[in-house]
Chain A
Amino acid sequence: MVTLQNIAVGVLAVFGTAVVGYYIVINTYYFVLHVLALRELGDDVTESEWDPPFRPFDSPFYPGVAVLVPAYNEEATIVESLQSLLTLNYPDKEIVVVNDGSTDGTFELLTSEFDLAPLDAEIPYDVPSEPIRGVYRSQTHDGLLVVDKENGGKSDALNAGLWLTDQELFCAVDSDTILDRNALLEIARPFLEAPEEMIASGGTIRVANECVIENGQVKEVNLPKTGLPGLQVMEYLRAFYSGRLGLDRINGLILISGAFGVFRTDYVREIGGYRHDTVTEDFDLVLRLHRYLIDHDIEYDVEFMPEPVAWTEVPSSWRVLGRQRRRWYQGMIETVVTHRDMLFSPTYGRIGTIILPLFTAAETLGPLIEGIGYLLIPVAWYFDVLNVEFLFTFFILTTGFGVFLSWFGVFSETWSFNRYDDPRQIVRLLWYGILENFGYRQWKTVVAWRGLIQYFRGEESWGVMERSGFGADSALSETDEAPEDEDVDDPVHAK
């Protein structure tokens, strides 16, 4: 006789098993990705050691890069940021700052600090953005273009810059991101090797909190003093040194940071530029690029470069971080749903059949299922539906294996570029690797659920953006990139 109790018990048991089973699959995916990443890292290190007597500044063949800087209410940081971008080490670059209708003194500061003069001309292109009020060039700094326009959000600002540049490559950065001086040289390398096929190249984002920054350059690499930014350091290491590298190895790089990525201008214009209706506009862009190139049967390549680094401040309060991650998670759902026809579709090759489904399973569904697991499995154990060993298995698979993967990320970093060169920093990182999985991870599942609810409620993920600065704002997960610090008082830059 089947009683209600039995049904409930049955349901619990099935769910419990399903969750554990799911986690075995996901963890296998992550493990494989990490191992592949390590091999790719080895190849990348070998590759970076090849240093022919080739003088980039002496070669007319180096591709030109336009650095697009969308700026909204950035008066605290814009000048220093621009000064650092203007002296980036790169033969042929242009800096395009797009003032997205700032309501503070951003534009006035730009005008006075960089001696801007208006370009007495109409815009000859049909720029798909909010109205442009004026275009300016600096009278003292060659290669600086400033676009002043009505507010339209980050994607809109990027598009304005994108349409007004003639450079063959562009690099979208956030206005408070700090690039290493040679970052452009490094991130352009894939385009040097395969100038025709290379469509996009992504760099690494690292946490700037507590780093000593002088004149727009990171002079000393330190770990944040407090826990939350420290956890994020750990997260980023894993996301980039295992996640992205692993995906790169199997030609499945579907994610390039909006905070630091270089793209072919012509192709991005061809697909209509950035999309407005998502906060993960970079994720969406890369998927659309893949889609376009596969649809049109164009041979292409997308690479991830672990060495060039862009530094950014991360939130140090749970509230701010939570809000941000919710938005990203929601954005990720939106993007995946928009491109759902790519899932399991052989038309899109490996990306469609394997990468995107696994990525979705791990990054989108993963946290949700894990969240259910944290609820269900202890309950199931309490009701003796699952034995205590089951409970332990669940925790080994999530938390335990999580620590393993986190530490794998730290190892990768230490073995390759070793920017955290003090062993004490490494030990601290390993500690954060443990902490990350006891508390932070679980909290992220709650964030994911809230993000999901926000998604179903139809709340616009990207709306909030316009009232605060841009920062670096895209979905962060196993394979994602940098967040922003929405706090108005920025302790590092307010010097």
Chain B
Amino acid sequence: MFIPRPDTAIVFQIGVPRRAVLIAALVLVVLLSIEFVLTTGYSVVRYFQRKREDRIKEPLREELLTRLYRPSDPEWDHWVNSLSKHERSVLESLLDDYLRELQGDDAEQLAGLGTALGITAQAHRDLKQGSYNDRLHALTWLALLQDAPSIEVLKQHCMETPRERAAAVRVLDECDYPEIETVGVDLLLSDDPDPFSVFGVDTLYRAAETDPSHLFNRAAEDFTTWEPQLQQQVLLACRHLRTLLGDANVFWLAEALDSPAERTRVEAAKTLGGFDWHPTLLKSIDLQTLASDDSPLVRAGAYQMFGEWGDESAIDLLRFAGMTDDNDRARVAAARALVEHRDEYSLNIPAESAAAWSWARAHSIHDAAIRDVSTGVTEASGHS
């Protein structure tokens, strides 16, 4: 179909100046060329780097293990001095791998390799003079090499962020620093601390593991000054601390049950589950109020707590308050707690909670069955 072009009696034409187009085209070509060169160049460089690393890795690994496990001295210095820069770099990463898996004599021997490679010295230097990332890496290395810096150095240089504090205390923990339950806990919780990362909570837990009294006493003092998320994290860490507390202050846990923050109450309830050995503490808790908290999450936490206590009044509460809770997840939480005691008490489960009860019970039966290692269990068995 032929569409005639109109004659030149057009009113106007919009045009882009030729020069502009040429410039745009030129810019594009230049940009594309740069991209092409950078991309392919980078790819080629990395390719050959990787090939080289692969080539030297296995012999280095063999040599490392041979030296480590031979009866005589590994002579790390002698070996390292004979290596090229690339070999040392690959060896460093191998060292990292092995240090993460080993403990005891082997780890100590390997730490010698770290010294020979200059990592230990560099790490100590980085703590004082390095950038934030340098310090973090240094702290990791020192934890692996089990070479703790002094507390003063840590306090002075490594308290910038919660992450750094946690890394610093972690080093102390890995090196079995003797007073970590006081010093470590203090380092983590001093100066108006921010909430932790999971790494931080884990570090707090490990620091306080040998003797949680200091942590508890500190919490007793500072708990109300902490923001809710930190409160919850400390409660969470405390939940997993099983060692004996002696006469440390634990009443702050009960007070936490009155916190305006919902999740703080939840965590407090769950943590208190492990404190049935402390009758005075237990007496200070108003169970009824707790079991009728507005928040279903808090009630669910409370049911978990009752389940862990397992005494008759706790079980009664579970039966009457828990199983008739109007929130379905809270009901299931109560059922789960109750199910663990079904052989100890005769329980009459109200009809309206039948679903929650059957659910909890069925799961409990399955859990037990799957862990049973006597023969013949895997035949499909009926579940009564």
Q: Do A and B belong to a common assembly?
A: yes
A interface residue numbers (CB < 8 A to B): 5-6, 9-10, 13, 16-17, 46, 49-54, 59-63, 115, 117-126, 137-140, 142, 191-196, 382-387, 389-390, 392-393, 396, 400-401, 403-404, 407-408, 410-411, 414-415, 418, 421-423, 426-427, 430
For B, the interface residue count at a CB cutoff of 8 angstroms equals: 76
Q: Tell me if B143 is interfacial: C-beta within 8 Å of chain A.
A: yes
Q: Tell me if B189 is interfacial: C-beta within 8 Å of chain A.
A: no
User: Which one, B20, B236, B331, contacts A389 given CB within 8 A?
Assistant: B20
- A414 CB → nearest B CB, Å: 5
Check if B144 sits within 8 Å of A195, measured CB to CB: no
User: Which one, B16, B355, B361, contacts A387 given CB within 8 A?
Assistant: B16
- B373 CB → nearest A CB, Å: 12
Near A by CB (< 8 A), chain B positions 284-313 give: none
- Some 20 contacts from A to B, beta carbons below 8 A apart, are A9-B10, A16-B14, A53-B170, A115-B380, A119-B359, A121-B362, A124-B328, A124-B332, A124-B335, A125-B328, A192-B198, A193-B197, A196-B195, A384-B5, A389-B15, A390-B15, A392-B16, A421-B46, A423-B44, A426-B40
Near A by CB (< 8 A), chain B positions 225-244 give: 229, 236-237, 240
Q: Which 8 pairs from chain A and chain B are nearest by CB? A: A387-B15, A121-B358, A121-B362, A122-B355, A124-B355, A192-B198, A426-B43, A389-B16
Near A by CB (< 8 A), chain B positions 64-109 give: 100
Measured CA separation A316–B198 after assembly (Å): 43
Check if A53 sits within 8 Å of B144, measured CB to CB: yes
Of B133-141, B149-157, B249-257, B274-282, the one touching chain A: B133-141
Residues in A with CB closer than 8 Å to B1 are none
Residues in B with CB closer than 8 Å to A17 are 14
Residues in A with CB closer than 8 Å to B205 are 60-61
Residues in B with CB closer than 8 Å to A404 are 28, 31-32, 35
Residues in A with CB closer than 8 Å to B14 are 13, 16-17, 385-387, 390
Q: Is the interface of B mostly helix, strand, loop or mixed?
A: helix
- Choose among B36, B39, B137 the residue with the greatest number of A CB atoms under 10 Å from its CB: B39
Residues in B with CB closer than 8 Å to A5 are 6
- B13 CB → nearest A CB, Å: 6
Residues in A with CB closer than 8 Å to B362 are 119-121
Check if A61 sits within 8 Å of B201, measured CB to CB: yes
Of B113-121, B180-188, B363-371, the one touching chain A: B363-371
- A279 CB → nearest B CB, Å: 31
**Contacts A50-B136, A60-B240, A192-B199 supplied; 5 other A-B pairs, CB < 8 Å:** A63-B198, A120-B384, A140-B370, A386-B15, A422-B47
- B183 CB → nearest A CB, Å: 19
- Contact flag A421-B359 (CB < 8 Å), given A61-B201, A124-B332, A407-B32: no
Q: Tell me if B42 is interfacial: C-beta within 8 Å of chain A.
A: yes
- Contact flag A396-B25 (CB < 8 Å), given A119-B366, A120-B362, A196-B195: yes
- Contact flag A390-B16 (CB < 8 Å), given A124-B359, A414-B42, A414-B46: yes
Residues in A with CB closer than 8 Å to B237 are 61
Measured CA separation A126–B366 after assembly (Å): 23
Near A by CB (< 8 A), chain B positions 24-65 give: 24-25, 28, 31-32, 35-36, 38-40, 42-44, 46-47, 50
- B50 CB → nearest A CB, Å: 6
- Contact flag A385-B42 (CB < 8 Å), given A123-B355, A137-B366, A407-B32: no
- Contact flag A139-B10 (CB < 8 Å), given A121-B355, A393-B21, A404-B31: no
> Which residue on chain A has the smallest CB distance to residue B240?
A60
Check if B143 sits within 8 Å of A53, measured CB to CB: yes
Q: Tell me if B381 is interfacial: C-beta within 8 Å of chain A.
A: yes
User: Which one, A9, A52, A60, A117, contacts B167 given CB within 8 A?
Assistant: A52
- B231 CB → nearest A CB, Å: 12
Q: Tell me if B260 is interfacial: C-beta within 8 Å of chain A.
A: no
- The 8 A CB mask of B373-384 against A (1 = contact, 0 = none) is 000011011011
Measured CA separation A422–B201 after assembly (Å): 42
User: Which one, A61, A139, A382, A383, contacts B378 given CB within 8 A?
Assistant: A139
User: Which one, A61, A138, A423, contacts B47 given CB within 8 A?
Assistant: A423
Measured CA separation A385–B6 after assembly (Å): 10
Measured CA separation A119–B100 after assembly (Å): 41
Residues in B with CB closer than 8 Å to A120 are 358, 362, 365, 383-384
Residues in A with CB closer than 8 Å to B6 are 5, 383-384
- A331 CB → nearest B CB, Å: 32
Q: Tell me if B18 is interfacial: C-beta within 8 Å of chain A.
A: yes
User: Which one, B137, B143, B370, contacts A139 given CB within 8 A?
Assistant: B370
Q: Tell me if B202 is interfacial: C-beta within 8 Å of chain A.
A: yes
- A451 CB → nearest B CB, Å: 29
Q: Tell me if B354 is interfacial: C-beta within 8 Å of chain A.
A: yes
Residues in B with CB closer than 8 Å to A422 are 47
Residues in A with CB closer than 8 Å to B15 are 386-387, 389-390
- Choose among B11, B42, B378 the residue with the greatest number of A CB atoms under 10 Å from its CB: B11
Residues in A with CB closer than 8 Å to B229 are 196
Check if A142 sits within 8 Å of B363, measured CB to CB: no
> Which residue on chain A has the smallest CB distance to residue B171?
A53
- A159 CB → nearest B CB, Å: 15
Q: Tell me if B356 is interfacial: C-beta within 8 Å of chain A.
A: yes
Q: Tell me if B128 is interfacial: C-beta within 8 Å of chain A.
A: no
Residues in B with CB closer than 8 Å to A194 are 197
Residues in B with CB closer than 8 Å to A403 are 32
User: Which one, A383, A385, A401, A430, contacts B40 given CB within 8 A?
Assistant: A430
Measured CA separation A192–B11 after assembly (Å): 66
Measured CA separation A332–B292 after assembly (Å): 45
Residues in B with CB closer than 8 Å to A192 are 197-199
Measured CA separation A120–B46 after assembly (Å): 57
Measured CA separation A124–B237 after assembly (Å): 31
User: Which one, B170, B355, B377, contacts A52 given CB within 8 A?
Assistant: B170
Measured CA separation A126–B329 after assembly (Å): 10
- Contact flag A396-B140 (CB < 8 Å), given A124-B356, A386-B15: no
Check if B133 sits within 8 Å of A46, measured CB to CB: yes
Measured CA separation A261–B147 after assembly (Å): 40
- B265 CB → nearest A CB, Å: 16
- B57 CB → nearest A CB, Å: 15
> Which residue on chain B has the smallest CB distance to residue A136?
B366
